[in-house]
């Protein structure tokens, strides 16, 4: 589709240029935003008749934009978001969010004026261009942080307040070394071996088992009709008694 540009469009042309663009781009952006007219014969005549007035109006808007540019120079807007330790946001910051932040800072802009290719998904400082006029742009800083304190730290250091894997590993190693040093500094005492109740119980069980075995053996001997063999001490006593009886006779 051929259109007549009513203002400068980046990478497309200057005011008054007749350019060929995709129909969708023209219908969805250029025409509704009044940045261009269809390149019909009547519109060309209309544009040429009003060209001087359009150029004067454009110059006035450009002057106002340049004044605003000077005021917004160095502007930083803080965007508070929840995020993990590695800095990844639980969500994102988009063009509308930044436009609202700039507006709250005292400069009214729309999300269409914010040039942001992709939503911001990490903590840190991000340069964002704001189009104040087709020929005037200003860069603002989006300071995305978890708190006001972190935002101040990021603004001072120029980098995001995040805990990287390397920093976490170093912290863990330092903590382990500290714990090891403390353990070495402590006096080491030898633990005395204590008799366990389990050993005493086992000995008792063995003794009881031996007694039961001896009793069972004695019962078997009685059942077979054999006299039990006396213990050595009992046999000696019996022999002494027999000798005494023989002498008496």
How confident is residue 162, by pLDDT bands cut at 50, 70 and 90? confident
pLDDT range class, residue 160, cuts 50, 70, 90: confident
Task: Identify the pLDDT of residue 144.
Answer: 96
Give the chain's radius of gyration (CA, Å). 50
Tokens of 230: 């006396």
- Side by side, the strands of the sheet bearing 18-20 are 18-20, 2-5, 36-38
Indicate where the chain has its CATH 3.40.5.10 domain(s): 2-71
Q: Are 141 and 116 in contact (CB under 8 A)?
A: no
* CA nearest neighbour of 57 among 108, 133, 113: 133
Taken in order 116, 120, 126, 132, the sign of the CA dihedral is: positive
2-71 under CATH 3.40.630.10, yes or no? no
Q: Could you tell me where in the chain the CATH 3.10.430.100 domains are found?
A: 73-163
Distance in Å from the first CA to the final CA of the chain: 156
| Mean pLDDT value of segment 68-75 | 93
CATH of domain 73-163: 3.10.430.100
Beta strand 124-133 with 136-145 is antiparallel
Residues 6+ apart with CB under 8 A from 17: 4, 5
* pTM exceeds 0.75: no
Res. 166: pLDDT tops 50: no
State whether residue 239 is helix, strand or coil. helix
Q: What is the DSSP string of 176-235?
A: HHHHHHHHHHSPP-PPPP---HHHHHHHHHHHHHHHHHHHHHHHHHHHTTPPPPPPHHHH
């Amino acid at each position: 589709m051929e259109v007549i540009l009513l203002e400068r469009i980046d990478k497309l042309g200057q005011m008054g240029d007749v350019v060929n663009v995709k129909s969708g781009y023209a219908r969805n952006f250029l025409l509704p935003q009044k940045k261009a007219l269809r390149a019909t014969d009547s519109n060309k005549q209309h544009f040429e008749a009003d060209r001087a007035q359009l150029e004067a109006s454009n110059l006035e808007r450009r002057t106002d934009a340049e004044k605003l540019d000077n005021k917004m120079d160095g502007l930083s807007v803080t965007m508070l978001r929840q995020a993990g330790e590695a800095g990844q946001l639980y969500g994102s910051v988009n063009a509308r969010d930044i436009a609202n932040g700039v507006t709250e800072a005292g400069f009214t802009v729309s999300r269409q004026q914010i040039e942001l290719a992709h939503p911001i998904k990490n903590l840190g400082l991000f340069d964002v261009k704001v189009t104040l006029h087709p020929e005037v742009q200003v860069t603002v800083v989006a300071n995305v942080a978890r708190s006001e304190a972190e935002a101040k730290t990021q603004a001072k250091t120029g980098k995001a307040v995040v805990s990287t894997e390397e920093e976490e590993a170093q912290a863990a190693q330092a903590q382990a070394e500290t714990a090891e040093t403390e353990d070495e500094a402590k006096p080491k005492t030898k633990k005395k071996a204590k008799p366990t109740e389990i050993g005493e119980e086992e000995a008792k069980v063995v003794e009881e088992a031996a007694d039961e075995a001896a009793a069972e053996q004695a019962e078997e001997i009685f059942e077979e009709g054999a006299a039990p063999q006396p213990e050595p001490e009992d046999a000696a006593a019996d022999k002494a008694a027999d000798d005494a009886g023989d002498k008496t006779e």
